[in-house]
A and B are shown apart, each in its own frame.
Chain A
């Protein structure tokens, strides 16, 4: 036991360095990281410079103005500044993407780990359930659930702002629909790990099963969890935009990139700036997160195939 811990500690920093080297060699992942930092700075610094009122207080005399020096992204149908909405909406879209990812990682890891480690009837039940969720087309399930939870969530305070309950709805709905593939990955890895010698050693030492699962097996699946988490953020940002675009997500009172697009779509010809800017921001954020995810996969999990 002790010898194993020692050798693991000795090996860890070297491995991290190797992963870091491989990540740096993935040029697009590095570009993606810089872009993402830029994007985060944009939504954080932007919100310091531009007051929230510009994004959410209508100014009817200033409706549908084309981009100008005063409002570089133009204004929307209520005279709200599109740049300000893109900044505050971006905060939310990124926040929703990340929170939904955490929820789905939590569910996916839990189900995959339990199924893989306990096997038998637990495995059978959990995997049939996973299969059922996987078989229903994602967008249908997302929309039905969004309708189901819609209006039932409390609004949230966030840095002195009031966020509509739709934010929580979208997070929960995306979280509980996007865990399936991770559950399968984790299960498969646990299945192959649990027959390895270090597990047998732990078992023969009398380490409780639960501890074996959490302390010995799960840490070894971390690489795929991290990769899937990163790509999951990108997927969740897209899902949010779909649900909000179809009017079942966050309502327009609280801007997100998705509901900005929904509103912009009604002014497709008269005010294209209303949908072009949030649209481009969605693409950039999803793109660089995907790049980072690819880089992490190459760095942490070199055996896996590239898509």
Chain B
């Protein structure tokens, strides 16, 4: 087991390097962050060149990548941007991603870790309750549907899950906003606080209801289908028939013998979803104007703020990789039939 984990960790390292290289290459060509910096007044050429130099954008891409990865505090750079190295130039200031420095945001010069740090909480506030609801409701419906296969309820749930799986999340979000905010005037359509409110927990809770519902509705379908299928498969297994033949009560057979084994595959699904939780939901956050990672990503993309983009992307990717590993470990622990 320890060997397996070590092996997986060793595999994850080159994978993350490869991903960071691909993403970094894409970032360089996404757009010119300097182009939008002058605001209404276009920059003149001298300013533009100096800005690019100060931001380190004039370096070759591979150099930029190395600086981003390991920092540039070990080498003397043309920090006064006069086009040559002289005695007033000094060492760079970046410490590099490997030492926990994701650089500074190009638009407001604050460290990327701080910019991201203040949004992560908001995103998790939205995503964690949604994920809990998705798991509880999805698994519940799945079990019910499997135990009452082809009943009216099962067929209804099947139909609904097909429809929700074919729906873009923004349509659900718009329907919810239209119904509960515009027509019934019950819940706030967007934001995290009332502009005139007291910023209390209850206020945030009221603002959470619609986005969390949208996120839940869109994903419950997949979970319940998956759970139903895996439960049905187990219910037809030999050991369940044996349990019935022994005369065990139906309840025990279903809940102990069947459910325990049927929940294994769902662990994989949960593990994969947990990994990308931190990325937030771009579309949902954008519709509900929720100040989380998804909104931050869109803003950063709009401003070509590539250090922030890289920060978000790498944070998410690392989280996905880590949760994949954790899922695999949890799986072997839960299912003794699997041995590495």
Contact = CB atoms under 8 A, between A and B. Distances in A.
Nearest to B226: A307
Interface stretch (A58-66, A104-112, A265-273): A265-273
Nearest to A151: B31
B171 A282 contact: yes
A53 interface: no
B168 A242 contact: yes
Given A148-B30, A307-B226, A137 B283 contact: no
A215 interface: no
B301 A143 contact: yes
Contacts of A290: 162, 165-166
Contacts of B85: none
A241 B170 CA distance: 9
Interface string B252-288: 0000000000000000000000001001001100110
Given A129-B18, A246-B282, A137 B276 contact: yes
Contact of B19 (A132, A241, A242, A265): A132
A307 B301 CA distance: 35
Contact-size category for B? 35 or more
B10 to A, nearest CB: 13
A132 B286 contact: no
Interface string A224-250: 000000000010001001100110100
Interface in B183-199: 189
B174 A269 contact: no
Contacts, number: 111
Interface residues of A, number: 40
Contact of B31 (A147, A245, A265): A147
Interface in B159-178: 162-163, 165-168, 170-171, 174, 177-178
The 3 closest A-B pairs by CB, nearest first: A286-B166, A287-B166, A269-B182
Interface of A: 28, 128-129, 131-133, 135-137, 139-140, 143-145, 147-148, 234, 238, 241-242, 245-246, 248, 261, 264-265, 268-269, 272, 275, 279, 282-283, 286-287, 290-291, 305-307
Given A140-B316, A290-B162, 12 more contacts: A132-B15, A136-B317, A147-B30, A147-B301, A148-B29, A241-B170, A245-B168, A246-B283, A261-B171, A268-B177, A282-B171, A287-B162
Interface of B: 14-15, 18-19, 22-23, 26-27, 29-31, 162-163, 165-168, 170-171, 174, 177-178, 182, 189, 225-226, 229, 276, 279, 282-283, 286-287, 297-298, 301, 309, 312-313, 316-317, 320-321
27 contacts: A28-B162, A128-B14, A129-B18, A132-B15, A133-B22, A135-B15, A135-B19, A136-B19, A136-B22, A136-B23, A136-B316, A136-B317, A140-B316, A143-B301, A144-B27, A144-B313, A147-B31, A148-B26, A234-B166, A242-B283, A245-B170, A261-B170, A261-B174, A264-B174, A279-B171, A282-B168, A283-B163
